[in-house]
Structure 1
Amino acid sequence: MRNRRGFLAGLVAASLTPRLSWADAGAPAFLSAGRAPDGAYSLYGVNHQGRPVFRIPIPDRGHAAAAHPDRPEAVAFARRPGRFAVVLNCVTGAEIARLSAPEGRHFYGHGVFSPDGTTLYATENDYEAGEGRIGLWDVTGGYRRMGEVPSSGVGPHDIRLMPDSRTLVVANGGVETHPDSGRAKLNLPVMQPNLAYLSLEGSVLEVVQMPPEHRQNSIRHLDVRGDGLVAFAMQWQGEETELRPLLGLHKRGHAPQKVEGSEAEMRGMKGYGGSVAFFDGGAQVAVSSPRGGRVQLSNVTTGRIAQSVEVEDVCGLGLLGDRLLTSSGTGQLQWIDGAALSLTNIAWDNHLVRVNAG
């Protein structure tokens, strides 16, 4: 990981190199928030060997990040209901900008860049109205806020760019929150999550809801296959005795598909789906559960759980080559087959965010 000498070398490189790339930041494969043994929170770059290649302090606990498609810049988002989002130069460690959610708004922990890197789309909460928003931030204008569009739901969390590069998919979790109430969930009896497909300009293209009996199954995190199939991880907000699937699949123009298994397999997740990721060429999909201490692997064609793998305090999932990587709060980065990639002293937070270096 870059030390002070490496940091200074990065400053020199920044002054001499006309265009920096992710290679100048140590060629990270992933970004992840984490907590060091001294309690300090940072955004880390993690390389293909599972080693941190940079560490940049952030104001408080982070959740996820957005990696710029061309430049070695990252936006680190606060864990809900935090109000900070910091833009970081991953070569020098400098803070480029700090995004402040407008009055009456807070961030929801995720964002994504437009394909050309000129716009950042961030999931936000209009907490007085109890409605979701997608904040639009002008990257070329120094991350100036340009405006916002409705997310077409309540509690938007994850947001992804679809393979057509013209469409966004938003996980509207359905859970209303307010900063004055911390992480309390204010509308569980009437919540209604959905998947919303929006154009880059904010037009609503399609909104998809699960059947009524799944109304309290909060859609939280997403992955998208190359053909546009969306996998979504859910978190059950109803009675613990009730059993619901925590993984779904959706293709635009079709009804959503539940992914299910035996009662024992489903209860083992303890009602909590964390990260979700396609692997095995898109033939399988994985969902993690830090509460259940496991990752479930499912067959996309059959919609059935095929295997559960126990991993203590696991949440992050990421595809590295053709293998699935997990990260956990224990500091472990390991392959889904249990083989260790590396063991760090960092308590990894929720997600491994892929760096698609331009």
Structure 2
Amino acid sequence: MQPMAIDSSRRTIVKGLLLSSAAPWFSSGCATARRDSIPTFIGCATKTRNKYMAVIADQFGQPIHQFPLLERGHGSAVNTALHHVAVFSRRPGHYFQVYHYLSGESLQLRLATRNRYFYGHGVYSSDFRRLYTTEGEVGSSRGIIGVYDAEHEYQKVAEFTGIGIGPHEIILLDNDVLAIAVGGIHTKGREPKNLATMMPSLSYLSSDGRLLEQVVLADHQMSIRHLSKGKASVYCALQNKGDLSEFPPLVYQHSFTASTKGQNMKPLQAEPEQWARFNNYIGSIATTEQWVIATSPRGNCYGIWSQQSGRLLELSRLSDASGVAAQGQTFAVSSGSGSAIMTRLNNDKKQDNQVVTPVFWDNHWSRI
């Protein structure tokens, strides 16, 4: 592991993080949880102004375990072999924290190493022994993939570079290939500094950090931020950082195989007025066996596309639609208003169930 140097500007937050990690988790959802509740979703949430938490919810979207976060959280990564979930603080994040999702116990707090910060996402290797995280270099936003040993207190064991500026979500594909959404934006804090020259990409790495392929869009101001693995493609969720009076496609598809190497990304299909509903911003993306689902908290909506045809099938309103998680023929959408939509395909018919939760969900949901 590289030595962890903590400068004076970080001492206050380090002290707070350590106090937060020592605080006991609480289970406000247990009193009303059903007996058949199963840990199913993990997401970050807002408790009150400037107070944040991570929440493990059951299959009905109701909280089982809740634990405080000092900083606003963003994404999470699930390790089903160890029953771990890593929760990442929002960019520019100072830490990630690991919990046992069955007991709610806090297991490990890992601070960003010197001159690094977290972008809010990570993914475990297929054998669950390593955790890959998207990170940036302070002062330049140079993209870094941090590699952590999940079996040895999440010590940092390696760094991968050469992917560009501003990596965001990272997912695992077949054969331990890593796909990274590289947003292309250099920031100071959260303020963008290079929108005129930004260069986003979809980058593929081997498990040992070799760059396998890097794909760019014709419009360099379409920032690639989030990813989901479909049946035969990677689906990319974008945010428009250019002319906001235009409403370009915000979801793209790309196939990564030896036979398709060098192909361009292709936009999914929707009418211009439908893309306008998303307000130039996709917040989360997920895939079932048949569908691609993308949310827009700024547009207060989510869309469902067919993977087979690439066409938009449905565009639905949901106030502050934020996270989406999918498995098999089911998906669930969370919202900052506390509502959640549970959807499944039953005998070729889509069935929606809207539930109300006591949680103001924020950013992403992951499926356990």
Match of 1:58 in 2: 69
1:73 aligned to 2:80? no
Q: CA deviation at 1:325?
A: 1.3
Between 1:129-138 and 1:186-195, the stretch displaced more is 129-138
1:139 aligned to 2:139? no
What is the CA–CA distance in structure 2 between the aligned matches of 1:130 and 1:37, rounded to whole Å?
30
Match of 2:221 in 1: 216
Match of 1:126 in 2: 137
Q: Secondary structure at the match of 2:253?
A: strand
Match 1:241 to one of 227, 240, 245 = 245
Between 1:182-191 and 1:31-40, the stretch displaced more is 31-40
Q: CA deviation at 1:28?
A: 1.4
Kept in 2, the 8 Å contact 1:175–1:188? The answer is: yes
- C-alpha RMSD over aligned residues: 2.3
Q: CA deviation at 1:59?
A: 1.9
Alignment length (residue pairs):
328
What is the CA–CA distance in structure 1 between the aligned matches of 2:130 and 2:331, rounded to whole Å?
30
What is the CA–CA distance in structure 1 between the aligned matches of 2:361 and 2:135, rounded to whole Å?
24
Match of 1:152 in 2: 163
Q: Summarize deviations over 1:101-149 as a string: whole Å, max 9, x none.
A: 1121100000011111111100000133331000011112211111211
Between 1:235-244 and 1:103-112, the stretch displaced more is 235-244
Kept in 2, the 8 Å contact 1:154–1:175? The answer is: yes
Kept in 2, the 8 Å contact 1:217–1:236? The answer is: yes
Match 2:110 to one of 74, 99, 105 = 99
Q: Summarize deviations over 1:18-48 as a string: whole Å, max 9, x none.
A: xxxxxxxx63111101123586422111111
From the superposition, tell whether residues 151 and 73 of structure 1 become closer, same or farther in structure 2 (CA, over 3 Å): farther
After superposition, residues 146-185 of structure 1 pair within 5 angstroms as 146-150=157-161, 152-164=163-175, 166-178=176-188, 182-185=189-192
1:335 aligned to 2:339? no
Paired letter, 2:206: S
From the superposition, tell whether residues 54 and 130 of structure 1 become closer, same or farther in structure 2 (CA, over 3 Å): closer
Match of 1:12 in 2: none
Paired letter, 2:215: V
What is the CA–CA distance in structure 2 between the aligned matches of 1:151 and 1:260, rounded to whole Å?
32
Match of 2:22 in 1: none
Q: CA deviation at 1:345?
A: 2.1
What is the CA–CA distance in structure 2 between the aligned matches of 1:78 and 1:38, rounded to whole Å?
16
Paired letter, 1:217: M
What is the CA–CA distance in structure 1 between the aligned matches of 2:359 and 2:335, rounded to whole Å?
9
Kept in 1, the 8 Å contact 2:39–2:101? The answer is: no
Kept in 1, the 8 Å contact 2:140–2:186? The answer is: no
Identity of aligned residues (%): 31
Match of 2:358 in 1: 345
Q: CA deviation at 1:233?
A: 0.3
From the superposition, tell whether residues 38 and 345 of structure 1 become closer, same or farther in structure 2 (CA, over 3 Å): farther
Paired letter, 2:237: A
Paired letter, 1:45: I
Q: CA deviation at 1:308?
A: 1.0
Q: Which runs of 5+ in 2 are unaligned?
A: 1-24, 32-36, 344-349
What is the CA–CA distance in structure 1 between the aligned matches of 2:180 and 2:27, rounded to whole Å?
38
Match of 1:251 in 2: 255
User: What TM-score results when the alignment is normalised by the length of structure 1?
Assistant: 0.86
What is the CA–CA distance in structure 2 between the aligned matches of 1:134 and 1:3, rounded to whole Å?
34
